Amino acid sequence: MGVFPWVAWYGFRRYTAYPLSSAAEAVTNTVFGFMRAYVLIALWHARPALGGYDVADAVTFCFITQAMIGPVQLFRGLELSERIRSGDVAIDLYRPVGLQGWWLADDIGRASAEMLLRSALPLVAGAVVFDLNVPSAPGLAAFALSAMLGVLVSFAIRYLVALAVFWLHDDRGLQSIALVMSLFFSGMILPLVVFPGWLASIAQAMPWAALVQVPADVFLGKHTGTDLLGALGFQAGWAVALLAAGAALTAAARRKLVIHGG
C-alpha cells in the first residue's frame, strides 16, 4: 500500500480517537438543525414553493446541511496554517511526497471520520421528527459521490487559504473572510435557490456551492439524468481547478522558502 492510503488511515484514526467529543459535536449540530428547521418551516409557510422547494424539501435540506458541516469542515481551516507560522512546514517539505497530496490524504481520513461520527445523528433525528425526503438507492449513491467531491473542493479552498500564510504570516483575517464566504455562498445559512435571481446565479457558479448546495440538491433529487452529470461535473471541475491552483501555489511557496534560506 502506498504512502497516501496510510496517511488517510492515520488521519481517520486520529479523528476517531475521541468519540465522545465527536458525539457532543453531533448533538450540537442536531440541536441547531431543529432550530434552523423551524425557521425554514415558518419561511416556507409564508412563501410556499419558494425557490422550487416545498416544506419537506426545505426541512430535508436543513438536516443534510447539518450533516455536512463536519465532512466539509465549514468552520475550521487546516492545521497546515500553524505549521507554516511555526516553521514546522520545512519538515513537511522534506518528505519524499507532495505537500498537497499529504494534506489531502489526511483530510480525506478526517472527513471519513467526521462522516461516520457526526453525520448520522442529525439525519436520523430529523427523520424521526419530520417527514424527510429520502432518495432511492441510486440517489443515495449519487449523493455519496457528490459529498466526496464537496470534500475535495472544501480541502482545495482551505489549502489555498493555508498557503497564504507563506506571504501574509497571519491568516486570521483571511480565515474570517473564508468563513463568511463559505457560510453564505455554500447554502449553509439559506438554500441558494432563495437568493434573488442575479445573486443566485453568481452564488451557484462559485466553488462554495459545491460544498453543500449541490450535494443537498442531489440528495433531494433536483438533479437527474444529464443534469446530474452536469452538477457532478461542476463539482469535479472546481476540484480540479482549485487543486491545480494549490499545486502552483505550493511550488511558489517552496521557491520562496528556499530563496530565504529555508
Supply the pLDDT for residue 224.
Answer: 87
Asked if residue 145 is part of any domain, the answer here is yes
The whole-model pTM stands at: 0.92
Asked if residue 64 is part of any domain, the answer here is yes
Q: Mark 238-261 as b/e (b = at least 16 C-beta within 10 Å).
A: bbeebbeebeebbeebeeebeeee
User: How many domains does the structure of the chain reveal?
Assistant: 1
Domain membership of residue 201 as a residue range: 16-259
Asked if residue 236 is part of any domain, the answer here is yes
Asked if residue 202 is part of any domain, the answer here is yes
pLDDT (tens digit per residue) in 237-248:
999 999 999 999
**How far is 256 from 258, CA to CA, in rounded Å?**
6
Asked if residue 225 is part of any domain, the answer here is yes
**How far is 221 from 142, CA to CA, in rounded Å?**
10
**How far is 172 from 97, CA to CA, in rounded Å?**
28
Asked if residue 4 is part of any domain, the answer here is no
Asked if residue 129 is part of any domain, the answer here is yes
Show the cell assigned to 16.
Answer: 476517531
**How far is 241 from 250, CA to CA, in rounded Å?**
14
pLDDT (tens digit per residue) in 141-163:
999 999 999 999 999 999 999 99
DSSP letter string, 36-89: HHHHHHHHHHHSTTGGG--HHHHHHHHHHHHHHHHHHTSS---THHHHHHHTTH
pLDDT (tens digit per residue) in 49-77:
888 899 999 999 999 999 999 999 888 88
Q: Mark 76-110 as b/e (b = at least 16 C-beta within 10 Å).
A: ebbebbebbeeeebeeeeeeeebbbbbbbbbbbbb
Asked if residue 6 is part of any domain, the answer here is no
